[in-house]
Structure 1
Amino acid sequence: MDAYRGFVMLLMMAEILQFERISEALPNSSFWHFLAHHQSHVAWYGCSLHDLIQPSFSFLVGVALPYSVASQVASDKPFSTLFLRALRRSLVLVLLGILLRSVGREQTNFTFEDTLTQIGLGYPFLFLLGFGSSRTGWIALAVILVGYWAAFIAYPLPDAAFDYAAVGVPADWPHHASGLSAHFNKNSNLAWAFDTWFLNLFPRAKPFLFNGGGYATLSFIPTLGTMVLGLQAGRWLRTKLSPNELLKRFILAGVVGLLAGWVLEVTNICPVVKRIWTPAWVLFSGGWCFLLLALFYYLIDVRTWRGWAFPLVVIGMNSIAIYCLVHLIDQFIIGFFRTHFGPSFFLILGTPYESLVSGLAALFVFWLILYWMYRKRLFIRV
């Protein structure tokens, strides 16, 4: 789990490499175009490697929960105390997400689509499900996915006079869908309507009209579905199943998830959209999460090839710390190098690769900080 989590966090950290800038500087390079695509979110439909960061992080929260529940039950503390602790963890995650989104702004930026806030909003419900049976978990997953889909379908479609430009979507945007999938179009859906009410309850410099990326607060509900998938995977890991049986389950769950998400999209029942975390996205991205978990389990636990994963483990064991560091001091580190090594230090490979060199320098410093924390046994837990 730590290696998988470290891999996920490394993908997040690697944003600082800015492959898109290199691709723009070298427009004829299919190699850099490919890397740039997988280091950015798709416009609306589909999936890139970068799109799997948040679902993987959420999935792993679920995977870890059975171990946490077992440890807390063994402490003999009353359930009320344990649940209050879960509520406190939820609140800390939500507030930390808001804090990080407010860095550099003139006032608190009350937004709830950040990875930490999404997990925090759903965590109390996941905690309760952790004390239930596996069957209860599958039923809860079905209720979440079907209920969320039905709520979107029940929300009326915009009329012909709807001003898409007013909500940041060009009228000729190529990703407008028709039929049932039209209920999941950008900034004209249930989640967008909810946020135009909910987010305006908080102090704002100007009224909230839309999120430029289409992200929404209500996505925490299907994100809970992703965490429930992880919860089920964590339960399998804690059983006495043989390694081969575990691998079969992970791979089967992965394939079923991918196929289910794809079928829902091609039948126009529900599109695969990460930005509003559609039910089809839960299944599709969950499928990838199961397959990635299977890969790391096979390499590390079955084949016992562990040495290669140590750099990832160092990152994964302090995921909250690196999440905060990347948001807070990335530019400080790059500025440090420019100040003390000269403004041309990052041009050693040429102008097109400036962001690559500066990003690698920052990644190296980040890893050294995490390695120091690892050696000192300093692990930040929420």
Structure 2
Amino acid sequence: MIKNSGSVRLVSLDALRGFDMFWIIGGEHIMHALAETTQWPALIWMSAQLHHTVWNGCTFYDMIFPIFLFISGVSMPFSFQKKLMAANVTNPWELPVKVKREVYKSMIRRTMILIFLGLVVNGLLKFNGFGNTRFASVLGRIGIAWFFAGIIYLNNDLQKQLIWFFGILLGYWVVMVFIPVPGFGAGVLTMEGSLESYIDRLFLPGRLHSKVHDPEGILSTIPAIATGLLGVFTGTFMKNQRYFPLKKVYFLLLAAVVLIVTGLLWDMYFAINKRLWTSSFVLFVGGWSIAFFALFYLIIDVLGWKKWSFPFLLIGMNSIVIYMAVEGVVNFATTADFIFGGLIEFTTEPVSVLLKAVSVVIIELVFLYFLYRNKLFLKV
């Protein structure tokens, strides 16, 4: 952990954020190519995990987005620490109204920036017309869910936060299962027949991701707030000084198992589904998010094995920059081909495909290292 001015920065959190983002910026292509090249069963299984499920179910690739949102929740109790110290209070809900107003302004600004960046990723600046622009986005959902999780955190003690958490999950299950959709009825959890999709078709402007449905739609953003709250609970627990680090790992793993099992049990009645961000999905992936965090915390912050994680730290400390870059702002593949293309031509498929994937990630890491050395970080 890095300590500075009374605040604590978990190195493992940045590393986990980088690990999570690594698969989006090129790790998935490396794994697919490795599986194709070696034909090893373990790598073939891992390659299969790097595809989204068509509808119900969950793969590792389905977890990447919620893990990132979970991490933003974990960071929240630490990011407010200076405000608490300056106001001489222990809990965020004890902050003076004047201080809270400043915090709200900062949170609104961050949310609006993320919504705008999400629109840019979706092609806003191509000016293809209102109807051809997709307004829902990954970054937009992160901003909105983080914002409302923060509002709950700032204004409620832990008991009330838990009531909000379970209320969101149970309330979402009730409306999704029992409110009828015209032409389909109640509880039809298909892409076209679900209440979430119906609301998107009615109220979400512009283009939907899947014509009749958007995975970052309006209604399914509500349970995403619960994903952010799971991160808040984890961050609050990590700030607690009553437990030794190793004991924290035990409790985190225990919580992870309980959430995963509960999610699997609820799956029998309310299917685990990333596109609908179902309540069972929140619990199941929330459990895995805590498990991954516990593992990274144990290895990096408790045992002190940090050097191996440096590439992930480069990614995690500038995650928004690299996400925006790989989503179309920068063509790393062209640069990689210019530098490594001549050497790669001496190989044949599938080895050449693997080398191309590796070369792109190398260029991305060099870019991130340049930003790191020059202390250039995008703070949103």
TM-score for the superposition, normalised by structure 1: 0.84
Tell me which residue corresponds to 1:78.
99
Task: Show CA shifts across 1:1-40 (max 9, x none).
Answer: 11111111112212562655786x7797645532331211
Query: Are the counterparts in 2 of residues 186 and 214 from structure 1 also a CA contact under 8 Å?
Result: no
Tell me which residue corresponds to 1:136.
160
Task: Show CA shifts across 1:136-186 (max 9, x none).
Answer: 221110011011111101222665xx6xxxxxxxxxxxxxxxx98x53222
Q: Work out which of the residue numbers 61, 75, 80 in structure 2 matches 1:50.
A: 61
Match status 1:247 vs 2:241: no
5 Å matches for 1:1-382? 1-14=13-26, 17=29, 30=41, 33-75=44-86, 78-102=99-123, 106-107=128-129, 110-131=133-154, 132-156=156-180, 159=183, 182-200=187-205, 202=206, 209-211=211-213, 216-240=217-241, 241-266=243-268, 269-329=269-329, 332-339=331-338, 345-382=343-380
Deviates more, 1:305-314 or 1:188-197: 305-314
Query: Are the counterparts in 2 of residues 264 and 270 from structure 1 also a CA contact under 8 Å?
Result: yes
| 1:375, distance to aligned residue in structure 2 (A) | 1.5
Superposition CA RMSD, Å: 2.8
Query: Are the counterparts in 1 of residues 69 and 146 from structure 2 also a CA contact under 8 Å?
Result: no
Q: 1:253 to 1:31 in 2, by over 3 A?
A: closer
Tell me which residue corresponds to 2:4.
none
Q: Distance in 2 between matches of 1:29 and 1:270?
A: 35
Q: 1:30 to 1:187 in 2, by over 3 A?
A: farther
| 1:74, distance to aligned residue in structure 2 (A) | 3.8
Q: Distance in 1 between matches of 2:311 and 2:151?
A: 34
Residue identity matched to 1:239:
N
Query: Are the counterparts in 2 of residues 51 and 274 from structure 1 also a CA contact under 8 Å?
Result: yes
Q: 1:272 to 1:380 in 2, by over 3 A?
A: same
| 1:337, distance to aligned residue in structure 2 (A) | 3.9
Query: Are the counterparts in 2 of residues 63 and 233 from structure 1 also a CA contact under 8 Å?
Result: yes
Deviates more, 1:29-38 or 1:317-326: 29-38
Structure 2, unmatched stretches of 5+, are 1-12, 88-97
Query: Are the counterparts in 1 of residues 259 and 284 from structure 2 also a CA contact under 8 Å?
Result: yes
Task: Show CA shifts across 1:335-379 (max 9, x none).
Answer: 23445665x654444222443222211111111111111111111
Structure 1, unmatched stretches of 5+, are 163-178
Give the secondary structure class of the aligned counterpart of 1:351. coil
Q: Distance in 1 between matches of 2:215 and 2:104?
A: 33
Task: Show CA shifts across 1:228-256 (max 9, x none).
Answer: 00000000111102113311221111001
Equivalenced residues, count: 354
| 1:113, distance to aligned residue in structure 2 (A) | 4.3
Residue identity matched to 1:238:
K
Give the secondary structure class of the aligned counterpart of 2:326. helix
Deviates more, 1:296-305 or 1:127-136: 127-136
Q: 1:349 to 1:242 in 2, by over 3 A?
A: same
Query: Are the counterparts in 1 of residues 136 and 217 from structure 2 also a CA contact under 8 Å?
Result: yes
Q: Distance in 2 between matches of 1:85 and 1:54?
A: 23
Q: 1:345 to 1:219 in 2, by over 3 A?
A: farther
